Structure 1
């Protein structure tokens, strides 16, 4: 039995708890939150031990894994403390708000020989798994370009729900908060980014960070890419999409959360084969991305493996966001160093 502790008992912690509760070899052993009332649900439902003090919680030797579900700006401090206490870590996105913090987390985990998984659950959507298989098999041939799009809405009330939302030190803007999963997919599918140019703006919301961003990137492979992300779309979330254009194939995955094929044509692939792949993409996920990552963590602990989505993956996404921000603020091209420490 692997004992998990949920740190930060807000909305996202519920996804972690639902996933853990379905795994026979896992249990919610403890919870930690500065607000005692937030922990009551987990005490009543899972008989979890409540801790108001994070440092005290880390002294509990029965805790194997710490799931950090707190505001993004707190991730580095909490993760480094957890690593130094010898706890394995599942870290919500984004891994951190700066490259330095992300590297410090990685270094602390390596130094203390603990596992680190970062929550980027979109990789486990059936349509995206099928797209990745096709790319890995070279079915698209040479890639011309890829589009990554997030057209969502976050209204005034959303940002007023908590004072840290939209701030630079705790939250970040559309790139770091909402689009980070889409950017992770971009890197997962296409590999490292080379040079990029970008623009960001804060158009509608009274926040410190951007609510819309666009970027043009080159990949080390030579392919080009276009990134468009926004929380300014009226009146609600419109779409998230990934579109890939190659010399032997075209694919568009679309939906409110990029979860189904809208278009797929591959040279040499029959209509029946194409339909089969598209049908797989339409299927409901057997389990959530959070469940995939948590189950993988248990396997990594038991068999001394590295997590399927690890610290380097989390760092790569943070570096891409920071490169886009730097390019927009400096009004000049930036050479990205994704996929490197």
Structure 2
């Protein structure tokens, strides 16, 4: 039995706790949050602590700690958990800087512990299929890849006196909303260089400290050119997350709101297999997130620590996504507000 504790009891922390509770080889031992259990609407029947330090000190038998806190605290909480002798599951992003991620990796190596990065879109059937297509090179040489992510995030999401929208704890739309899709791009096509971009803020002047839209172009180190276009200024609800791949032997487009549908596939001499239906998006009421695949994340942790498989998204991959985002943000001036949103 693999014993888990969870730092953070918001939407994602409670989702981790639920997936742990559903796994027959996992046990939830504790949770913590700076808010009270009642404020968090937490109904899990396990000890609940007010700080990570208190929880770690009182749960010596815990094997794994899930880090489900604001982005800017991920690296800090991962290092504290590793220092206490636990493996860690880190929600995206692994950190807000490459340096933070390197510190997490160093601590994990120093303590001989594993770091599992949460990039659950890798488990969606279209993503699994795309990975097979790329690995078997049925498209031949890759010419162009265009990724579009157009979502809604408005005042219902960016609440007053909340960490979302702040520079130090959120970090920006590429970190919070779209790192899953940048991870898929990196997983499928590898690293990028020669990044050029433009960032704009159209609808979030009063509720975030940064951009809501951007165009980015780059070269893949493995060959081909790419673009990543994004916005959270879409009215009312998410519009699409899509990837179009143009190769020597054919063209593919995976679309839908969450890259959950294969919209086009034409490849010389290739018959596309029938794919399983994708899981729905994480539903938070007035807004939706990426695919609800956290059950597979917890399964992978249990299976890896039981010696049955390998980590789906390891620490180096988590670091590389952060590194790419840092370089993308450095490629053009960001519309960071002088009067940055702050927490009271």
Same fold by TM-score, threshold 0.5 exceeded?
Answer: yes
Partner of 1:74: 73
Give the SS at the match of 1:198: strand
- Report the Cα distance in structure 1 between the residues aligned to 2:103 and 2:48, rounded to whole angstroms: 28
8 Å CA contact retained: 2:198, 2:216:
yes
Give the SS at the match of 1:155: coil
Partner of 2:30: 30
Q: 2:307 aligned with 1:300, yes or no?
A: no
- Report the Cα distance in structure 2 between the residues aligned to 1:89 and 1:38, rounded to whole angstroms: 26
Partner of 1:102: 101
| CA deviation string 1:60-94 (max 9, x = no partner) | 21111101111001111111111111111001111
Partner of 1:181: 180
- Report the Cα distance in structure 1 between the residues aligned to 2:181 and 2:40, rounded to whole angstroms: 34
Partner of 2:14: 14
Q: TM-score, normalised by structure 2?
A: 0.89
- Report the Cα distance in structure 2 between the residues aligned to 1:11 and 1:90, rounded to whole angstroms: 16
8 Å CA contact retained: 2:124, 2:278:
no
8 Å CA contact retained: 1:39, 1:50:
no
Give the SS at the match of 2:145: strand
**Structure that is richer in helix per residue:** 1
Task: Tell me how far 1:127 sits from its aligned partner.
Answer: 1.0
RMSD: 1.9
More displaced, 146-155 or 296-305? Answer: 296-305
Write the mapping of 1:1-341 to structure 2, written as runs, cut at 5 A.
1-38=1-38, 42=42, 44-45=43-44, 47-59=45-57, 60-160=59-159, 162-205=161-204, 206=206, 207-269=208-270, 273-274=271-272, 277=273, 279-280=274-275, 282-284=277-279, 288-303=292-307, 306-329=310-333
Structure 2, unaligned runs of 5 or more: 281-290, 335-344
Alpha carbons of 1:40 and 1:135: their partners in 2 closer, same or farther (altered >3 Å)?
closer
Task: Tell me how far 1:306 sits from its aligned partner.
Answer: 4.9
| CA deviation string 1:133-189 (max 9, x = no partner) | 111101000000101111001012311255211111000221111011010000001
| CA deviation string 1:283-320 (max 9, x = no partner) | 558x9521222111112222296522011111111111
Task: Tell me how far 1:39 sits from its aligned partner.
Answer: 7.8
- Report the Cα distance in structure 2 between the residues aligned to 1:6 and 1:254, rounded to whole angstroms: 33
- Report the Cα distance in structure 2 between the residues aligned to 1:291 and 1:329, rounded to whole angstroms: 38
Alpha carbons of 1:38 and 1:10: their partners in 2 closer, same or farther (altered >3 Å)?
farther
| CA deviation string 1:180-233 (max 9, x = no partner) | 101000000101112211111222102111111110010012210010011011
- Report the Cα distance in structure 2 between the residues aligned to 1:69 and 1:38, rounded to whole angstroms: 18
Alpha carbons of 1:40 and 1:144: their partners in 2 closer, same or farther (altered >3 Å)?
closer
